[in-house]
Structure 1
Amino acid sequence: MNAAETKPKWRRRAEDRPDEVLDAALTLFARNGFAATKVEDIASEAGLSKGAIYRYFPSKEDIFESLVKRAIAPIADRTEDLARTSHEDPAVLLKAVLSVIAARLSDPDTMALPRIVLQEAGRFPELAETYRRQVIDKGIGALELILQKGIATGQFRPVDAHLAIRNVMGPLLAHMLLTQIFRIDEDAQTTPQDFIESHFDILMNGLLRPRAGG
């Protein structure tokens, strides 16, 4: 057998390996929980050595943070950018942002991350801190800015924007928990956009100024 025949038929590209590690980690975190998953388990799932994992990620917590940055943080960053730079009608912009969030959270891989945080935050508060810093703080700030723009233009009533955000996001999060964890309406053909249409109708009727003479 010559040297060419003894070479492996394929070899992972080094730039692909971090994503392979993250894919393996997400599978194990979602199935077994963060606490029960060891770095060597992730290495085995990814087909790498434990040492190779540490070349890309210093700790299991860093792996989780990288999962958040890859899957959800870009949504928060985009929402933040739109809120600051868009000249779109605030009501139209708010609905568009909520639609994107609902669509992304309907993806089981994306929703797995907040589920892991809810399950493990008591033992690993740093996971909740990571998720809050990378996602929640940015999302709340962006949505609050959209509401403030609507209030400033007179389109929205002068509500407390900081508190109103919880009324905006609360039903959406509750919907995701009910459908993905408790499997409510699992057989119904309800899409994320169907919920947004219903939620936004109720939300806007509570935010918009009454029309003169109405």
Structure 2
Amino acid sequence: MTSSRKFYRRPDARPDEILDAALALFLEDGIQRTRVADIAARAGISKGAIYLYFPSKDALVLALVRRRVTPVVQRIVDLLDTATGDPRPTLGAVLQIIIDGFLGEENQGVPKILLREAPISPEVVTIYRREMVERVMPLLTALVARGVAEGHIRPVDPVLTIQSVFGPVFLQMSLGNILGIGPPEGGLQALADNHMMILTAGLAPER
């Protein structure tokens, strides 16, 4: 007797299969040009089955962000919630979390989509801001402000400082994902280490 069990898919595995198919197609063709029917075909299921899990293409994008971005953001939030003393080691640790979570070869898919689609997809910008920027930025600026108040670092503008710390990392992401310019010699880790060495010295209290 021939069993059909090998063709059976556990229902709890289908959302990930759908998201894997959506991610691959969004990277190949972009969000705008990808149809739900295309995602269904890539996942090997019916179009109607997708709507059982995701009511719209925007919901798919949000789910992709939450699957890849939200765990990284939560690690940053947990770190910042417990940070004390000199903020410079904490800023370096946050930078490392971002590199490990977003910039490794196996982790770049969702950041690539966010960078590529942001100029033409306002909903992507909204999702990115809500899921990452609005959660992390207030905590980072508060960290720097507290460091200034406690005398650990020189008097600096917290918002400008955070933009200066993390701006080069996201610029490198843009150079790689949009312009095809690879990381500097030594890779992103070398860039981050050099960046933090300069910032650590630059933020040191005035003598």
- Please say if 1:55 is aligned against 2:52: yes
Structure 1 position 122, deviation (Å): 4.2
Residue by residue over 1:86-139, the C-alpha shift from the partner in whole angstroms, topping out at 9 and shown as x without a partner, is 336422111111011022221345433343234333442111101110012222
Whether contact under 8 Å (1:64, 1:127) holds in the other structure is: yes
Shift of the 27–20 alpha-carbon distance from structure 1 to 2, 3 Å rule, reads same
Greater radius of gyration (CA): 1
Q: 1:48 is paired with a residue of what secondary structure?
A: coil
Shift of the 115–6 alpha-carbon distance from structure 1 to 2, 3 Å rule, reads closer
In the aligned structure 2, how far is the partner of 1:122 from the partner of 1:86? Answer: 35
Please name the residue that 2:141 is paired with: 144
Whether contact under 8 Å (1:80, 1:141) holds in the other structure is: no
| Number of residue equivalences | 207
- Please say if 1:64 is aligned against 2:61: yes
Please name the residue that 1:7 is paired with: 4
In the aligned structure 2, how far is the partner of 1:180 from the partner of 1:123? Answer: 16
In the aligned structure 2, how far is the partner of 1:179 from the partner of 1:35? Answer: 22
Query: Aligned match of 1:196 in 189, 192, 200?
Result: 192
Structure 1 position 11, deviation (Å): 1.5
Name the aligned partner's letter for residue 173 of structure 2: M
Please name the residue that 1:86 is paired with: 83
Query: Aligned match of 1:208 in 201, 204, 207?
Result: 204
In the aligned structure 1, how far is the partner of 2:32 from the partner of 2:151? Answer: 49
Structure 2 gap segments, 5+ residues each: none
Please name the residue that 1:22 is paired with: 19
- Please say if 1:154 is aligned against 2:151: yes
Structure 1 gap segments, 5+ residues each: none
- Please say if 1:106 is aligned against 2:138: no
In the aligned structure 2, how far is the partner of 1:127 from the partner of 1:106? Answer: 19
Name the aligned partner's letter for residue 107 of structure 1: G
- Please say if 1:95 is aligned against 2:89: no
Structure 1 position 13, deviation (Å): 1.1
Whether contact under 8 Å (2:152, 2:204) holds in the other structure is: yes
Residue by residue over 1:158-211, the C-alpha shift from the partner in whole angstroms, topping out at 9 and shown as x without a partner, is 21102221111111111222244434346x65233211111101112221113x
RMSD: 2.0
Please name the residue that 2:36 is paired with: 39
Name the aligned partner's letter for residue 201 of structure 2: N
